[in-house]
Amino acid sequence: MQGLDAALLARILTRALRRGGDFADVFFEHRLVQTFRLEEGRIREASSSVVRGVGVRLVVGERAGFAYSDNLDENSLLRAAEAASLIARDGRAAGSVADLGAQPAPALYEPHPDEPADSARYVELLARADVAARGFDPHVASVNAFITDELQHVQIATSDGRIVTDRRPLVTLGVQVVAKDGGRRENGYVGDGGRTAIDVYEGRTPESIARESARIATVKLDARDAPAGEMPVVIGPGGGGVLLHEAVGHGLEADFNRTGTSLYSGRVGERVASELVTIYDDGDLLGERGTVAVDDEGTPGSHKVLVEAGILQGYMQDRLNARLMGVASTGSGRRESFRVLPQPRMCNTYMPSGTSTPQEIVGSIERGLYATSFSGGQVEISKGDFVFMIAEGYLIENGRITAPVRGATLVGNGPRAMEKVTMVGNDARLANRSYTCGKGGQRVPVGVGIPTVKLASCTVGGTAR
Amino acid sequence: MNDVRDEALALADETIALMRAAGASDAEATVSVVDRFSCEARGGELTKLQRSRGRTLSVRAFVGTRRAAFSTTDASRDGVAELARRVVAAAAFVGEDPHAGLPDAFADDGVCDHDLFTVAPDVAERDDEEKIAEALGMERTIREADDRITNSQASRVGDAIASWALANTRGFRGVSQGTTVSRSSAPIARDGDRKRIGNYGTAARGWATAEAAQAVALHAVHRALALCGARKPATMRVPVIFERDVAAAVIADVFSALNAANVATGNSWLADRIGARIGSERVTIVDDGRLRGGLGTSPFDAEGTPTRETVVFEGGELRTYLSDVYWGRRLGIASTGNAAGGGVGANNLFLVPGNGTLDDLVANTERGVLVLDTIGFATEHASGVYSRGARGIYIEDGVPMYPIDEFTISSTLPEMLAGIDAVAGDLRFDGTIVSPSFRVAEMTVSGS
């Protein structure tokens, strides 16, 4: 079953609005995920998961009442609606539900079959990754790989009269490699996929993903301890886009701005970055991880200009916050599952190309750090301080990329780091499709991207003495 | 409540029968049912109210020595039968694995006759309106506490009653129940033209034993204000004191290296180190699955193995890893009763406390840094490299001098454990991985 019938949806919405309220919505979800895991050259486990249920929400001003049910019988669903209605506490007249009309979501995903593929196909992809990683270098000590193939059906009914459905595929193949040299161990991880079917691995082969992961792990065996202190930092294209996600993106989510808790609150139209900085968040890029044909509130995913030539243009909005701020939702209302409330979230966040060549950028630095990719990033919203670990990084010496470093962390403050962007490369690209963002305990798939970018200075946390 | 447990056990029993019918040679089913309430207030408004019951069925199946698993929120007979068919079919593509399988035998029938105080009766009894009033009260407290507190990211109050049942085809049948309550607040202080957020939360098995709402709110305010006026420190190598919440996060990183799954796959800096002296003599780390009223306490783990007290580090020496049945077989050790959610988890893992307070640690530090908060998650578990963004207080001559931020602390976990030269006595069991405050003799502080 891929949804509830319109008459039942109307009864649930009517119940949710019975104590009054501004709007109600019902979120139905059915998600099937098929996973295979490989370790030590063998497929160790096959697993499936089904997430199926309904979340009911009532919104009154800035207040949200919420309940979910994994039981789809009418009594359970009406009980959830009743629980959600309790947020309306001032005894107003019942709200009304408009006639529900169905709307299809636009097509923004690559084709995906209704059922998972033959198990043999997943197993073959993993086996190829394993062989490629082991064959890469004799120091490769262990290889773990997984593949997940997911298909999520959602149906969103809103009290203003819409029923929207979406069918979202998502595949990921990830390879983790541990390389060992004497007592020293280093790891590498690379994943890729997207909102598509596993046919994507015919072009982006498991071998290429595995070799990339093995390369990172083995390079780090020769890495020296990272330097500590302030220095110029070059962000590599693609994966370096995590910088934008953490340093700027979260601070532009509407909830933090509507409540005045973000450092970007009330600053639309102001300069928040160097004039070289433009940042977009797109929900409508074909096949990307963060793409949503419609978000989890039924609003189409869209192209948003967050920052243009250093000037803050707007925030990422969900329905509740957009309504209170007097603007339209930008299609940014996303949720991990039917068991939690939607929040304003990023989709695919990136910086378009500038004019410098990557060689000019690296060549301009006498001593600094080159960060290819990041892991474990986090930002503190109110002040804008961010941190992330450099998963792969190198020293820059006399205008050239030289020795690999390990254990480097970048720490800084969002607007101040963005003010220090002094060169932007002509090589913008989106990163591998493997990023997941956490906020308030909810994880959703996202995309990031960036060209080669120079930060004139940033604090590097290293261990070199 | 017994109804919930009985129903859960009946579903688990039915499911293993279905798995057998679908072709599994062995199977294990876990049914968890959670009744959850949460509310959130901001300023004078109740902003969120949630109440739901969720049920999840998780199954592990074995076809000979081939392993398959599924989980679902759709526990209808058709839904379960369909998944059973699917995973048994997929298992044919899984490699033979001699270590895979259910636990061999059970020392305990799992149906607990010993009360571990995991259920506090006041959770089921307390009225939702009281909890709502409490969240609103915390918002008032933070705003009245100091003129600089002008906003917040809300105060939250919530509770949950979790019931679960486990059955397997080797005859294990067990049920258990636990309650949890939580309170948290996130005030925002004005610091010139900047904003400083303070986050503090607590959890316990019941309302009577949880830190009071007022105390939680004031602690959060203290955290927001403590960092007002912070500046960036110079780059230096100095002693670093971890306040107990950030200390607990370090112990959580150590747990990743103790996790038998990571050890067996080489993704742990503690691999091949049993018997080695890793930490200083002050490092004794214990996982106690039977701690009375502990948030990670349970009579048996996710595979039905009875929980126990395991000394992991004793006086700095690594004694054992923490394991479930499978990874234990891979490493040649017995399960320590740490199976959780399809992998290995901590029960109640803690660094054994010393004496004195956090203030004593500060007073005994000539020059150093007290870390109150860290950001970032990245630890390289294969190498043990540790690095975090941090905020805290700069110390000179045993005196807290001024708040500092925008710096990182870095080292490696083995160097940090070896460098723990003082441990305070301020341990509290308000999580499943906890620690008293401690000091590491030397770390790199990277600032300007």
Mutate to test the interface with A, among B188, B375, B443 (most CBs of A within 10 A): B375
Does the pLDDT of residue B199 top 70, yes or no? Answer: yes
Q: How far apart are CA B110 and CA B106, in angstroms?
A: 8
Q: Touching check for B98 and chain A: CB below 8 Å?
A: no
SS3 B230: coil
Structural domain boundaries of chain A? 229-461
SS3 A153: strand
Whether residues A388 and B388 touch (CB distance < 8 A) is answered with: no
pLDDT of residue A396: 97
Whether residues B153 and A461 touch (CB distance < 8 A) is answered with: no
Q: In the beta sheet, which residues pair with residue A147?
A: A36, A173
User: How many helices (H) does chain B have, and how many strands (E)?
Assistant: 10, 21
Count Cβ atoms below 10 Å from residue A135 Cβ, excluding itself. Answer: 13
pLDDT of residue A101: 81
Q: A-chain residues within 8 Å CB-CB of B235?
A: 228-229
pLDDT of residue B209: 95
The H or E element spanning position A124 is helix A119-136
Q: How many CB pairs under 8 A join A and B?
A: 268
Q: B-chain residues within 8 Å CB-CB of A388?
A: 376, 378
Q: Which of A23, A16, A17, A160 is nearest to A92 (CA)?
A: A17
Whether residues A409 and B70 touch (CB distance < 8 A) is answered with: no
pLDDT confidence band for B110 (50 / 70 / 90):
very low
pLDDT confidence band for B107 (50 / 70 / 90):
low
Whole-Å CA distances, A24 to A19, A83, A86, B1, B379? 11, 12, 12, 32, 42
Q: How far apart are CA B115 and CA B157, in angstroms?
A: 27
ipTM: 0.91
Whether residues B446 and A462 touch (CB distance < 8 A) is answered with: yes
Residue of A nearest to B415 (CA): A463
Non-local CB neighbours of A36 within 8 Å, separated by 6+ positions: A43, A45, A46, A47, A119, A122, A123, A126, A146, A147, B90, B93, B94
Residue type, A25: D
CA end-to-end span of chain A: 61
Strands A162-181 and A101-104: parallel
Q: How far apart are CA B143 and CA B148, in angstroms?
A: 8
Across B169-300, where does the E strand assignment appear? Answer: 173-191, 194-197, 200-204, 236-242, 285-288
- Residue A379 · residue A250 · CB < 8 Å: yes
Mean pLDDT of B380-396: 90
B442 to chain A nearest CA, in Å?
11
- Residue A356 · residue A237 · CB < 8 Å: no
A382 to chain B nearest CA, in Å?
5
Q: B-chain residues within 8 Å CB-CB of A146?
A: none
Does the pLDDT of residue B1 top 70, yes or no? Answer: no
Residue of A nearest to B186 (CA): A261
Residue type, B297: T
Mean pLDDT of B125-139: 97
DSSP string spanning A346-383?
Answer: -SEEE----SB-HHHHHHT-SEEEEEEEEEEEEE-TTT
Q: How far apart are CA A52 and CA B396, in angstroms?
A: 57
The more confident residue out of B3 and A327 is A327
- Residue B243 · residue A118 · CB < 8 Å: no
The more confident residue out of B397 and A461 is B397
Q: How far apart are CA A207 and CA A62, in angstroms?
A: 50
| Structural domains for chain B | 121-161+179-225 (3.30.2290.10), 230-448 (no CATH)
DSSP string spanning B59-74?
Answer: EEEEETTEEEEEEES-
pLDDT tens sequence across B234-289 = 999 999 999 999 999 999 999 999 999 999 988 899 999 999 999 999 999 999 99
Q: What is the pLDDT along chain A (465 residues), one digit of tens a residue?
A: 579 999 999 999 999 999 999 999 999 999 999 999 999 899 999 999 999 999 999 999 999 999 999 999 999 999 999 999 999 987 677 878 888 888 777 889 998 998 888 999 999 999 999 999 999 999 999 999 999 999 999 999 999 999 999 999 999 999 999 999 998 889 899 999 999 999 999 999 999 999 999 999 999 999 998 888 899 999 999 999 999 998 899 999 999 999 999 999 999 999 999 999 999 999 999 999 999 999 999 999 999 999 999 999 999 999 999 999 999 999 999 999 999 999 999 999 999 999 999 999 999 999 999 999 888 778 888 888 888 888 899 999 999 999 999 878 888 889 999 999 999 999 999 999 999 999 999 999 999 999 999 999 998 887 765
The more confident residue out of A379 and B144 is B144
- Residue A371 · residue A234 · CB < 8 Å: yes
Structure tokens at B219: 């602690």
The H or E element spanning position A143 is strand A140-158
pLDDT tens sequence across B71-100 = 999 988 888 998 889 889 989 999 999 999
Q: How far apart are CA B130 and CA B418, in angstroms?
A: 47
Q: Which residues of A232-257 are buried (b: 16+ CB within 10 A; e: fewer)?
A: bbbbbbbbbbbbbbbbbbbbbbbbbb
The pLDDT > 90 percentage for chain B reads: 86
Q: Which of B174, B205, B119, B165 is nearest to B4 (CA)?
A: B165
Mean pLDDT of B147-152: 94
Q: How far apart are CA A455 and CA A419, in angstroms?
A: 8
Residue of B nearest to A1 (CA): B79
- Residue A193 · residue A43 · CB < 8 Å: no
pLDDT confidence band for B2 (50 / 70 / 90):
low
pLDDT tens sequence across B40-69 = 999 999 999 999 999 999 999 999 999 999
Non-local CB neighbours of B3 within 8 Å, separated by 6+ positions: none
Q: How far apart are CA A116 and CA B238, in angstroms?
A: 55
pLDDT tens sequence across B263-272 = 998 889 999 9
Q: Touching check for B81 and chain A: CB below 8 Å?
A: no
Q: A-chain residues within 8 Å CB-CB of B389?
A: 378, 385-387, 409, 411, 461
Residue of B nearest to A63 (CA): B47
Q: How far apart are CA B207 and CA A83, in angstroms?
A: 23
Rounded to a whole number, what is the largest CA-CA distance in chain B? 72
Count Cβ atoms below 10 Å from residue A378 Cβ, excluding itself. Answer: 18
Across B9-148, where does the E strand assignment appear? Answer: 26-42, 45-63, 66-72
Mutate to test the interface with A, among B65, B93, B151, B231 (most CBs of A within 10 A): B93
Q: Touching check for B446 and chain A: CB below 8 Å?
A: yes
Q: How far apart are CA B35 and CA B436, in angstroms?
A: 32
Strands A229-235 and A367-379: parallel
Q: Touching check for B341 and chain A: CB below 8 Å?
A: no
Whether residues A52 and B79 touch (CB distance < 8 A) is answered with: yes
Structure tokens at B108: 């305990």
Residue of A nearest to B192 (CA): A383
Q: Which of A150, A386, A121, A101 is nearest to B90 (CA)?
A: A121
Residue type, A418: M
Q: Which residues of A191-229 are buried (b: 16+ CB within 10 A; e: fewer)?
A: bbbbbbbbebbeebbbbebbbbbbbbbbbbbebebbbbb
B234 to chain A nearest CA, in Å?
8
With left for phi above 0 and alpha for psi between -120 and 50, is residue B128 left, alpha or beta?
alpha
- Residue B324 · residue B100 · CB < 8 Å: no
Q: Which residue among A49, A87, A459 sits closest to B446, beta carbon to beta carbon? A: A459
**CA dihedral for B293, B336, A180, B273, sign (positive or negative):** positive
Does the pLDDT of residue B295 top 60, yes or no? Answer: yes
Whole-Å CA distances, B196 to A248, A280, B186, B389, B433? 17, 27, 10, 15, 27
DSSP string spanning A409-446?
Answer: EEEEEHHHHHHTEEEEBS--EEPPS-EEEEETTEEEEE
The H or E element spanning position A320 is helix A319-325
Q: What's chain B's length in residues?
A: 448
pLDDT of residue B378: 65
Q: How far apart are CA A241 and CA A281, in angstroms?
A: 12
Q: How far apart are CA A374 and CA A389, in angstroms?
A: 6
Q: How far apart are CA B320 and CA B62, in angstroms?
A: 28
Q: Touching check for B130 and chain A: CB below 8 Å?
A: no
Q: A-chain residues within 8 Å CB-CB of B70?
A: 47-50
CA end-to-end span of chain B: 58
DSSP string spanning A201-266?
Answer: GGTS-HHHHHHHHHHHHHHHHTPEEPP-EEEEEEEPTBGGGHHHIIIIIGGGBHHHHHTT-STTTT
Structure tokens at B361: 């640690």
Q: Which B residues in the span 134-193 are in contact with A, Cβ-Cβ below 8 Å?
A: 151-153, 188
A355 to chain B nearest CA, in Å?
31
